[in-house]
Structure 1
Amino acid sequence: MKRVLIIKMSSMGDVLHALPAITEAVQHLPELQFDWVVEKGFEQIPSWHPSVDKVVVASTRAWRKNWWSSRAERKAFVDDLTSRKYDLVIDAQGLMKSAWIAHLAEGPVSGFSFLSVREQLAAFLYKKRYNVPSGHAVKRLRALLSLSLDYTLGDQTNDYGIDLDGANFECVEPAPKTLLFLHGTTWASKHWPESNWIDLTELAGKSGYTVWLPWWSEEEHQRCLRIAASNDAAIVLPRGDLNSMRNHISAVDAVVAVDTGLGHMAAALSVPCLSIYGATDSTRTGTWGMNQQHLRARYNCSPCLARECNLLSETVLRPPCYESCSVDDVWRVLSKMLCLKH
């Protein structure tokens, strides 16, 4: 058996984007067994793939904030990381922190070339470097693994390899005709206006749909409560972990999302998902898989890739690009997706 360590630490979408590459690698080389280094908070995702044996959890964000008090935890991480010898270590993140972790591991390291890595200094720590063209993250990761492991890249794959029969999967029984709205995201510029979510929930309710509203932070929880207060069709879900979110997403007819990691989870599960993109570029980091639709803002500065909209002012209270992604537009596309599903 050939043992490979992959380092793909964050964010949620990035971690999910690595799964098709694992699936394809094992299809070409069945003797492969992967271990995975991932940031704390995302460790459940690699465990969903049957070809991932061991998940090594790093807490680099917490370590940076508490460097001296985390010495014992950092030592325990290095001890865990170096407890196995690897035939190959692949840095699929391309950052200095991931390259340094790869360098500490017991095995030869491969990664992106100086021209294709995200942080160029990282490439100095690789034994082998591979030039991977720009493009969608899933394509780039598939290419990196095929070059690192020396097999011919196959046709486009949407197989994330998630084992829905695993021990962590619990079937969630939805009410008939159920949608899930993923309204929460990180950047302020990626938020679809709250009033739009309220209007969309109303349209869904009038069409006989129940709308599930998940939340992660207290800010998102309060938004859920405001959306639900306007319509009896909305149900605010209890806060859960990633396993719980996977189970709920698997149970619905369709998902509407902004650019958020949970939208990528819907794609990984082949659940129909309409994703709304304003500030970000769906051609590089959009949801990837079966039954995915992208509604892109039609505005001269979109995608701006800025965390905060530079056009906001006392009179402009929300990113203007989302004016081109109206509630009617979303409902029209979503209705077509639901018709195809049924």
Structure 2
Amino acid sequence: MEFDTAVFYWIKEHLQSQALDIWITIFTDKNNYPIPVIATVIALLVLRKKQGIWFVIVITLAILANDFIIHNILKPLFARTRPCHVLDILNSVRCTASYSLPSIQAGNLFALATVSALFFRGSGWVVFPLAVLFAASRSYLGVHYPTDLLAGGLCGILIGILFCRAYRFLIPSYDPRRRVPDMNQPPQNILLIKLSSLGDVIHALPSLRTLRQLYPKAHIAWIVEEKCKDLLYDNPDLDELIVVRIRHWRRHWNRQSWREFKAALKRIQGRFDLVIEMQGLIKTGLIAWLTHAPRIIGFDPRDCRERPNAWFTHQKIPYMGKQVHVVDRYLAMIRALGAETVTKEFPLRVPEEAESKIEAFWQDNPELPAQPIVAIHHGVGFPTKRWPMERFAQLGDRIAKELGFNILLTWGPGEGESVKQLSAQMKERHWVSPKNTLHESIAMLKRMSLFIGCDTGPVHLSAAQ
């Protein structure tokens, strides 16, 4: 307090004058701010475009946060009376009843200076002296102690740094320090984003094969949901498989989920110079963004399942529409990278244990492979895709009776009871497959002569064989 009081006496004796009083009053009058602020914002938007937009957003959020923290938390906590209510030598015409420590104005000024310096290189030499000058005017007017300004300034700097770090973490594509991709050099580390479903992951396999042929020396990784990871088992075109459990995390968020999320984030951040986003969802767009990759390829907004996905990508392939098959839609991304020819192959490998189990089932049912086998799969992922069960039974009976083929009823998770109902409705001889893992289903379906089912994962597995 002795230092603060001494500063006011020094200002009174050596600095204060009628002319300076007028100029400082003009500069600190909030009614004079709108025009220069609006002009500055317009200039930023015109000259800096997207970077200017993000600067305005970040500084607005930082100032709002600074105002809230100081006004609602710090000032009531310290409850310091303003000097103009304590010192008789001060005759401030703007002495309000609010507390003094810290200074909101100083906090806002230094938050503005910090964000400006971090956004625009070299601007710190200008903005920080201006922040000091304008903040000091609060002590000249007698409404704040110098230590109020120091505390407010430190608070503003910390908040400015925090919001800039959040900006660079969440929106790396507009970070001025972001790596600029060299379009003349082939990418060294590539990430494919296709989390699910079974059919979609299968449809993306030709893109992976074509990508490998285009960049034979690149390190290629694929991020996928846990339930679909077996489709990429021992894939010859893949160097790394990153398995996540996003659906599980959303339903069971706990410490373990948080640890898994952080581990997955560590595996994708800052490692890749090219990301190919094939899912078209908001969540996968965020994953692509969080990689901090300098180049992210995605769909045209009209081709995205969720249009905001396009906000997170740097390069959009031309609009195709629903008339283009999904395999060709994915391959269009690889063509955009320069692939002149594409390879529509679906490599699906399974471990020896899965093959052995299915071979054992065949040996236990020697009459089954004696005739061509027709698999009938009644299950679906969505009720809107379901065909009546009695129709499946009638069709299976006709195939067995009229063509002499053997019928194998296949089923997936949660379909054990319904496949029993289907079996009970059939009149001709047939077999019911055992409970299989995804690998075992692949091993079994490749032995089929014909597969009948609705729009579901096993149909795409069969088509890929």
TM-score, normalized by the shorter chain, greater than 0.5: yes
Q: Report the Cα offset of residue 168 of structure 1.
A: 6.8
Q: 1:250 aligns to what?
A: 446
How far apart, CA to CA, are the structure 2 residues paired with 1:94 and 1:42? Answer: 17
The 3 A distance-change label for structure 1 pair 253 and 49 is same
How far apart, CA to CA, are the structure 2 residues paired with 1:72 and 1:10? Answer: 22
Q: Report the Cα offset of residue 68 of structure 1.
A: 4.1
Contact 2:210/2:339, CA 8 A, preserved across alignment: no
Q: Report the AA paired with residue 338 of structure 2.
A: D
Q: 1:50 aligns to what?
A: 236
How far apart, CA to CA, are the structure 1 residues paired with 2:218 and 2:377? Answer: 35
Q: Report the Cα offset of residue 58 of structure 1.
A: 1.6
Q: 2:315 aligns to what?
A: 128
Q: Report the Cα offset of residue 24 of structure 1.
A: 1.9
Q: Report the AA paired with residue 446 of structure 2.
A: S
How far apart, CA to CA, are the structure 2 residues paired with 1:42 and 1:19? Answer: 13
Contact 2:233/2:349, CA 8 A, preserved across alignment: no
3-state secondary structure, aligned to 1:56: strand
The number of equivalent residue pairs is: 263
Q: Report the Cα offset of residue 96 of structure 1.
A: 1.0
3-state secondary structure, aligned to 1:42: helix
Q: 1:178 aligns to what?
A: 373
Q: 1:85 aligns to what?
A: 271
1:84-104 deviation per Cα after TM superposition (whole angstroms, max 9, x unaligned) = 722311111111111111122
1:66 matches 2:252: yes
1:12 matches 2:198: yes
Contact 1:35/1:53, CA 8 A, preserved across alignment: yes
Q: 2:304 aligns to what?
A: 117
How far apart, CA to CA, are the structure 1 residues paired with 2:456 and 2:285? Answer: 25
Q: 2:434 aligns to what?
A: 238
Q: Report the AA paired with residue 150 of structure 1.
A: G
Q: Report the Cα offset of residue 169 of structure 1.
A: 6.1
How far apart, CA to CA, are the structure 2 residues paired with 1:115 and 1:52? Answer: 30
Contact 1:209/1:233, CA 8 A, preserved across alignment: no
The sequence identity of aligned pairs, in percent, is 28
Contact 2:232/2:348, CA 8 A, preserved across alignment: no
How far apart, CA to CA, are the structure 1 residues paired with 2:455 and 2:302? Answer: 27
> Does 1 or 2 have the higher relative contact order (CA < 8 Å, sep 6+)?
1
Q: 1:288 aligns to what?
A: none
Q: 1:75 aligns to what?
A: 262
Higher-strand-fraction structure: 1
Moved more, 39-48 or 249-258: 39-48
Q: 1:104 aligns to what?
A: 290
Tell me the TM-score normalized by structure 1: 0.70
Q: 2:332 aligns to what?
A: 143
The 3 A distance-change label for structure 1 pair 48 and 182 is farther
Higher-helix-fraction structure: 2
The 3 A distance-change label for structure 1 pair 178 and 223 is same
Q: Report the Cα offset of residue 9 of structure 1.
A: 0.7
How far apart, CA to CA, are the structure 2 residues paired with 1:92 and 1:167? Answer: 31
Q: Report the Cα offset of residue 163 of structure 1.
A: 4.5
Taking only aligned residues, the RMSD between alpha carbons, in angstroms, comes to 2.3
Q: Report the Cα offset of residue 33 of structure 1.
A: 3.7
Q: 2:365 aligns to what?
A: none
Contact 1:111/1:144, CA 8 A, preserved across alignment: yes
Moved more, 60-69 or 12-21: 60-69
Partner residue of 1:202 out of 370, 392, 397? 397
1:222 matches 2:417: yes
Q: Report the Cα offset of residue 34 of structure 1.
A: 2.0
How far apart, CA to CA, are the structure 2 residues paired with 1:215 and 1:60? Answer: 25
Contact 1:116/1:131, CA 8 A, preserved across alignment: no
Partner residue of 2:214 out of 22, 25, 28? 28
How far apart, CA to CA, are the structure 2 residues paired with 1:199 and 1:167? Answer: 36
How far apart, CA to CA, are the structure 2 residues paired with 1:216 and 1:163? Answer: 19
Note the 1:147-158 alignment, pairs <5 A.
147=336, 149-152=337-340, 154=341, 157-158=343-344
Q: Report the AA paired with residue 242 of structure 1.
A: L
Q: Report the AA paired with residue 107 of structure 1.
A: A
Partner residue of 2:458 out of 252, 259, 262? 262
How far apart, CA to CA, are the structure 2 residues paired with 1:104 and 1:50? Answer: 27
Moved over 6 A (4+): none
Tell me the TM-score normalized by structure 2: 0.53
Q: Which runs of 5+ in 2 are unaligned?
A: 1-186, 363-368
Q: Which runs of 5+ in 1 are unaligned?
A: 270-342
Moved more, 90-99 or 73-82: 73-82
How far apart, CA to CA, are the structure 2 residues paired with 1:33 and 1:232? Answer: 52
The 3 A distance-change label for structure 1 pair 167 and 27 is farther
How far apart, CA to CA, are the structure 1 residues paired with 2:268 and 2:212? Answer: 22
Q: Report the Cα offset of residue 258 of structure 1.
A: 0.7
Contact 1:180/1:252, CA 8 A, preserved across alignment: yes
Contact 2:379/2:411, CA 8 A, preserved across alignment: yes
3-state secondary structure, aligned to 2:407: strand
Q: Report the Cα offset of residue 106 of structure 1.
A: 5.0
